[in-house]
């Protein structure tokens, strides 16, 4: 008798998944059914690029900018998919419309894919496009948003630009996961990493901003050019607030009046403690509040918003 379990036994996945809709290989699927091959180099080597947009109250925010960044990333990584930007836009709209979600986290991915011979040559692989829409998620949970985050300032080095272009959105996250655990060890909610010179870099899924004497600074190098980061530049130029990108020594955080982080997953999120120590008076600052309001107001501005057409349900 064979000790192997019957190969024909039907596999049952007992894990549970968020609700939502995915698109793979020409089909729209419930999230629980969206699976990739374990031979996909996106999985085996983190050989992939991706982007995340969000839908808020039925509107995509800056979808063109996300698609632009995604296509640039694919080009840098010598990847291509059989869809142009218009077709990708339609797929993303369809995922959200079919999910019925009014507030959604919408991720789209290009993986290196697989080759029939498991060749090590990335040129032999057939790249794969995947997209999905699940309920809106945030770097900070509701309670953290209300009181402001407690952020650990770590000396963990973000993978340097000389190794990997940080402006190509990627899944090289082990440095950031390490920083998260370093943060949890001191009861922080999340953590920020440093660049090779020891200046501030970014954190798991966010860019960081430091406010001092009414002016705002954000790291220049060793970071993803976040779409939310760009939105902060746009808000500041409209509000006559000086906002610069430059190298920021970690010590500058100690002198900050306000600190906030930005991400498509959550928007603008105040940081009120750094490693347990209060930033300024420990309250969410007025500039952070003003910018947060502008950020959410922009979500109904036709220059940035595109409305999802949900199917009529009789």
Nearer to ligand PLP, 149 or 224 (CB): 224
Backbone angles phi, psi at 66, to 5 degrees: -65, -40
Strand 104-114 and strand 126-135: the pairing is antiparallel
229 scored as a contact of ligand PLP (CB under 6 A): yes
Q: Which of 42, 113, 148, 205 binds ligand PLP (CB under 6 A)?
A: 205
The answer to whether the beta carbons of residues 34 and 19 sit under 8 Å apart is: no
Query: Given candidates 264, 272, 288, 292, which one binds ligand PLP under the rule CB under 6 A?
Result: 264
Question: Could you give the residue ranges of the DSSP H alpha helices within the chain?
Answer: 41-44, 63-76, 85-99, 142-147, 174-185, 227-239, 286-297
To ligand PLP, the closest distance from the beta carbon of 119 in angstroms equals: 30
Residue with smaller CB distance to ligand PLP, 98 or 210: 210
**Cα separation, 216 vs 210, whole angstroms:** 6
Distance between alpha carbon 272 and the CA centroid of its chain, in Å? 22
Map the footprint of ligand PLP across residues 17-46, applying CB under 6 A: none
Token pair 């498991």 in the structure block, residue: 118
Cα(270)–Cα(290) distance, rounded to whole angstroms? 11
Kindly write out the interface string for residues 50-69 of this chain, putting x where it contacts ligand PLP by CB under 6 A and - elsewhere: --x-----------------
State the Cα–Cα distance between residues 267 and 243, nearest whole angstrom.
Answer: 17
Q: Who contacts 121 (Cβ-Cβ below 8 Å, separation ≥6)?
A: 115
Q: How far is the CB of 76 from ligand PLP (least distance, A)?
A: 16
Q: Does 266 bind ligand PLP (CB under 6 A)?
A: no
Q: Residue 194: exposed, middle, or buried by beta-carbon count in 10 A (0-12, 13-18, 19+)?
A: buried
Q: Which of 95, 131, 227, 253 binds ligand PLP (CB under 6 A)?
A: 227
**294 sits near ligand PLP (criterion: CB under 6 A):** no
Using CB under 6 A as the binding rule, whether residue 206 contacts ligand PLP is answered as yes
Note whether 199 binds ligand PLP by CB under 6 A.
no
- Nearest distance in Å: CB 279, ligand PLP: 20
Interface mask (CB under 6 A) for ligand PLP, residues 156-195, using x and -?
----------------------------------------
Give residues in contact with ligand PLP (CB under 6 A). 52, 202, 205-207, 224, 226-229, 262-264
């Amino acid at each position: 008798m064979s000790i192997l379990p019957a190969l024909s036994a039907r596999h049952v996945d007992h894990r549970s998944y968020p609700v939502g809709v995915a698109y793979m290989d020409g089909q729209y699927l419930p999230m629980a059914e969206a699976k990739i091959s374990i031979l996909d180099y996106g999985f085996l080597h983190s050989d992939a690029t991706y982007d995340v947009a969000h839908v808020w109250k039925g509107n995509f925010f800056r979808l063109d900018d996300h698609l632009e960044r995604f296509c640039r990333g694919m080009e840098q990584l010598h990847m291509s998919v059989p869809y142009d930007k218009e077709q990708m836009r339609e797929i993303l709209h369809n995922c959200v419309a079919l999910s019925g979600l009014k507030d959604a986290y919408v991720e789209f991915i290009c993986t290196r894919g697989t080759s029939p011979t498991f060749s090590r040559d990335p040129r032999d692989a057939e790249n794969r496009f995947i997209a999905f829409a699940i309920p809106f998620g945030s770097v900070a949970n509701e309670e953290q948003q209300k009181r402001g985050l407690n952020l650990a300032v770590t000396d963990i080095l973000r993978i340097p630009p000389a190794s990997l272009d940080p402006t190509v959105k990627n899944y090289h996250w082990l440095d950031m996961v390490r920083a998260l655990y370093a943060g949890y060890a001191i009861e922080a909610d999340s953590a920020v990493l440093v660049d090779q010179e020891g200046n501030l870099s970014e954190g798991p899924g966010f860019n960081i901003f430091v406010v001092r004497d009414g002016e705002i600074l954000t790291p220049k190098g060793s970071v993803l050019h976040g779409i939310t980061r760009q939105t902060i530049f746009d808000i500041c130029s409209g509000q006559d607030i000086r906002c610069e990108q430059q190298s920021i020594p970690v010590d500058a955080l100690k002198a900050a009046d306000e600190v906030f982080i930005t991400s498509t997953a959550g928007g603008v999120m105040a940081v009120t403690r750094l490693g347990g120590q209060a930033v300024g008076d420990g309250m969410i600052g007025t500039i952070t509040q003003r910018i947060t309001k502008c950020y959410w107001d922009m979500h109904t501005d036709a220059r940035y918003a595109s409305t999802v057409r949900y199917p009529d349900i009789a």
